[in-house]
């Protein structure tokens, strides 16, 4: 099931940064990352795709942490890229918070909406831009991340189809029980 898979991915993302004391320039980014993960944990629609996105964020933050610790990057020379990274993470957090707050049925209706898919694709584009601005694109494979995102999207679609089948079966059973009740008690 996609939910178990998604939670496993999410746990992996969190463990990537577990016990890491972020360098000063990344402290806020680490905090927002944890907010994102806590939202994704409770989302029922599109969860695997957002878990993969969280995993990508963890890889990005881990790579940046290593670069700062090795003094290949210096916070003072990365003010604008750090600002852009914080804005990106805040935007992702707002998106997953909205997904979390959305009712299950409204989330289902929006699941296949092109606008929702394009928002996530735009996040990947912005992550690619961030890796370039920090000059760490060789350390992260964006094409692989995009492939993982597409696989996660397809898994979420499959999981949603399974949920629809279960809902339809439950609806049919309720209808049958309602008819039996009406026949037994003579209610129309």
pLDDT for 12-23, tens place per residue? 888 889 889 999
Whole-structure pTM value = 0.78
- The reported pLDDT for the residue numbered 187 is 77
Alpha helices in 43-141 (DSSP H): 47-69, 79-101, 104-111, 114-133
- The reported pLDDT for the residue numbered 68 is 95
- The reported pLDDT for the residue numbered 114 is 58
> pLDDT band at residue 161, thresholds of 50, 70 and 90?
confident
* CA 100/CA 107 separation, integer angstroms: 9
Give how far Cα 128 sits from Cα of 57, 89, 102, 136, 188, Å.
11, 13, 28, 10, 62
% of the chain exceeding 70 in pLDDT: 90
Q: pLDDT digits over 118-129, tens only?
A: 899 999 999 999
- The reported pLDDT for the residue numbered 1 is 44
Give how far Cα 10 sits from Cα of 24, 107, 142, 174, Å.
24, 20, 19, 36
Q: Is the pLDDT confidence value at 111 over 70? A: no
> pLDDT band at residue 105, thresholds of 50, 70 and 90?
low
Cβ–Cβ < 8 Å for 36, 92? yes
- The reported pLDDT for the residue numbered 90 is 98
Q: How many CB atoms lie within 10 A of CB 24?
A: 9
Q: pLDDT digits over 48-91, tens only?
A: 899 999 999 999 999 999 999 999 999 899 999 999 999 999 99
Cβ–Cβ < 8 Å for 89, 29? yes
């Amino acid at each position: 099931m996609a939910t178990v898979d998604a939670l496993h991915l999410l746990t992996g993302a969190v463990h990537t940064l577990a016990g890491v004391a972020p360098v000063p320039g990344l402290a806020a980014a680490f905090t927002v990352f944890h907010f994102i993960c806590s939202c994704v944990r409770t989302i029922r629609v599109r969860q695997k795709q957002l878990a993969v996105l969280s995993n990508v964020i963890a890889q990005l933050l881990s790579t940046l942490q290593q670069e700062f610790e090795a003094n290949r990057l210096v916070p003072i020379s990365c003010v604008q890229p750090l600002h852009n990274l914080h804005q990106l993470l805040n935007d992702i957090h707002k998106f997953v918070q909205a997904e979390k707050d959305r009712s299950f049925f409204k989330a289902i209706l929006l699941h296949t909406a092109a606008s929702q898919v394009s928002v996530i694709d735009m996040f990947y584009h912005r992550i690619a831009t961030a890796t370039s601005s920090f000059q760490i694109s060789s350390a992260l494979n964006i094409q692989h991340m995009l492939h993982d995102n597409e696989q996660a999207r397809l898994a979420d679609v499959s999981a949603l189809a399974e949920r629809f089948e279960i809902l339809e079966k439950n609806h049919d059973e309720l209808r049958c029980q309602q008819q039996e009740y009406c026949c037994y008690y003579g209610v129309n």
